[in-house]
Amino acid sequence: MHARSVAKVVAALLVPAILLGPGCKKKPPPPPPPPPPAAPEVRLQVASVSPSQIEPNTPAQVTVYGSAFEDGASVNFGAFPGTEVRVTNSNQLTVMAPALVLGTYDVKVSNPAGESNTLRGGLIVKNANVACRNVTVNFDFDRASLRSDSKSTLDGHLTCYQGLSGQVRIAGHADERGTVDYNLALGQRRAETVKRYLTNGGVSASRVNTTSYGEEQPADRGHNESAWAKNRRAELTATE
């Protein structure tokens, strides 16, 4: 072979080697994309109750809000089970709360598999309007026995007093006639008469306190029969 031809062949073989030298390496393929993040686990949770306050001794339907509620879930209010539980969706259910006495109750939701969650103090049972918070009964002159109208007034509030968990304070009063000591004693007898009537009607005696102000706190500061009639009284103050 002619020397020139040999040189051409050698040159042809050297060109690819030069082009594929250290400065011209082939790029590696890009890495595969990362896998999508796993969906966060949704756990059972009780977030709120509506309404959060109901009347005592009366069943009431409430709605419970949260997450991961499942068909067949059960609801407890403290130690008392709810009824008619209906799971609207995973975040909401309705339940009939039983007739509960005054107090604050934890709300616990349990799924069929056993998982549960509790909202502490989620339901409050109290009287929205305490009709017996302030009640006054009146007496005849120099008497500590209850009149028929006073009995009717107390009878109309007995259920309210029975439903309260707090104290009932009875303050006896008298008009200005008579000595200070006599009127203090008369006011005390009037307060005790009212207490006996309440306890005989089912109100716990341990929740009823009595005191007397005699003539010292008149409801009417007049000095005639109209004023005295208002001052011969017992005032009942109730707390929840």
Q: Taken in order 131, 133, 136, 137, is the CA torsion positive or negative?
A: positive
- Among 121-130, 216-225, 230-239, which stretch is predicted with the lowest mean pLDDT? 121-130
Assign domain 45-125 to its CATH architecture.
Sandwich (2.60)
Which range has highest mean pLDDT (32-36, 161-165, 208-212)?
Answer: 208-212
Which tokens sit at 4?
């020139």
Rg (CA), the chain: 41
pTM above 0.85, yes or no: no
Q: Where are the domains of the chain?
A: 45-125, 134-238
Assign domain 134-238 to its CATH architecture.
2-Layer Sandwich (3.30)
Write down the H helix ranges in the chain: 3-19, 148-155, 158-163, 180-200, 225-231
